[in-house]
Structure 1
Amino acid sequence: MFLLASIVVFAIYFTNVALGAFFQAAVLGDVGEMLVLLAAAVLFVVAILQKEADQKDKDGS
Structure 2
Amino acid sequence: MFLYAALVVFVVYFANVALGAFANAAILGDVGEMLVLFAASILFVVAILQKEADRNNKNGS
TM-score tier by shorter-chain length is: over 0.9
Which TM-score applies when normalising by structure 2?
A: 1.00
C-alpha RMSD over aligned residues: 0.2
Partner of 2:6: 6
Give the alignment of 1:28-43 within 5 angstroms.
Answer: 28-43=28-43
Tell me which stretches of 4 or more aligned residues in structure 1 moved more than 4 Å.
none
Gaps of 5+ in 1: none
Which TM-score applies when normalising by structure 1?
A: 1.00
- Percent identity between the two aligned chains: 74
Gaps of 5+ in 2: none
